[in-house]
Copies of this chain bind each other. A is one copy, B any other.
Amino acid sequence: MNPKPENIACDSNDTQARLLNAAESLFIDAGYAGMSARAIAQTAGVNIAAMGYHFGSKHGLLEAVLIRRVAPINDARLRRLARVCERGPDAIGAILHAFLWPVFYTENEAPARRLMGRVMTEPADVVEPLLDLVFSDVIEQFVAAVAACFPNEDKGLIAQKFSFVVGALSFTLLRPSSPLFGSVTTTDVSFKRLLKFSVDGFQITPTNRSIEKDIL
């Protein structure tokens, strides 16, 4: 029969939690196609069949992994956004703060961060439906809130600027320590830097025409 459909969160050492943790870790390091069901079971110290029994399939397990981590973060984002919007529409810094803060400071943040970075960059055919399901509401509301800060700006520009923020965020989460970019920083420093970078990128500034004319 269907196994415990009502109670997802269990003791941290039972089979379901062990599978979730193992799948999360392997998904972060190898992506969906790169993690095998057997490797998950072995890492979890659990029989392979337990995956099918508790989550239906490998993809069902990934879905549970994502929802476990992403849902609390997105909930916190929307709660903070609601509080910001009560203060009036002109607070781009506060809006981006509401978007970024929960990623860096929600509990269980360390695995959740890397998971977020991985899932945002995973091949579309694996997670596109899941991304839509989990993120479309959050993105939509935040883009609308940011657009309200710049009522005279093109909506497409606002949406794309927000995608730049999401990209910078995802890449930062995905490669917390990359030999390409030198020294690693603490969570707090990265958060503050990314927030400031994003806010500055959103500001309306005069386009520097000399860049294009001089170089091109």
Residues of A within 8 A of B (CB): 29-34, 80, 83-84, 93-94, 97-98, 101, 120-126, 131-132, 135-136, 139, 143, 155-157, 159-172, 174-175, 178-183, 185, 190, 192-203, 205, 207-208, 210-212, 214-216
Residues of B within 8 A of A199 (CB): 208, 211
User: Is A123 a contact of B31 with CB atoms below 8 Å?
Assistant: yes
Residues of B within 8 A of A132 (CB): 179-180
User: Is B160 a contact of A193 with CB atoms below 8 Å?
Assistant: yes
Residues of B within 8 A of A179 (CB): 132, 136
Give min CB distance, A169 to chain B, whole Å: 7
Residues of B within 8 A of A216 (CB): 101
Give min CB distance, A47 to chain B, whole Å: 24
In angstroms, Cα B212 to Cα A101, docked, is 10
Chain A, interface SS category: helix
In angstroms, Cα B174 to Cα A112, docked, is 22
Query: Which residue of B131, B171, B202 is within 8 Å of A120 (Cβ)?
Result: B171
In angstroms, Cα B28 to Cα A121, docked, is 11
User: Is B211 a contact of A183 with CB atoms below 8 Å?
Assistant: no
User: Is B201 a contact of A94 with CB atoms below 8 Å?
Assistant: no
User: Is A215 a contact of B101 with CB atoms below 8 Å?
Assistant: yes
In angstroms, Cα B170 to Cα A30, docked, is 18
Query: Which residue of B93, B171, B183, B193 is within 8 Å of A166 (Cβ)?
Result: B171
In the complex, the 3 A-B pairs of residues with the closest C-beta atoms, listed nearest first: A167-B171, A121-B121, A33-B34
User: Is B93 a contact of A211 with CB atoms below 8 Å?
Assistant: yes
User: Is B201 a contact of A197 with CB atoms below 8 Å?
Assistant: yes
Closest to A210 in B: B93
In angstroms, Cα B20 to Cα A42, docked, is 36
In angstroms, Cα B175 to Cα A167, docked, is 10
In angstroms, Cα B210 to Cα A168, docked, is 23
Query: Which residue of B124, B167, B212 is within 8 Å of A172 (Cβ)?
Result: B167
Give min CB distance, A89 to chain B, whole Å: 15
User: Is A94 a contact of B214 with CB atoms below 8 Å?
Assistant: yes
Residues of B within 8 A of A34 (CB): 31-33, 123, 125-126
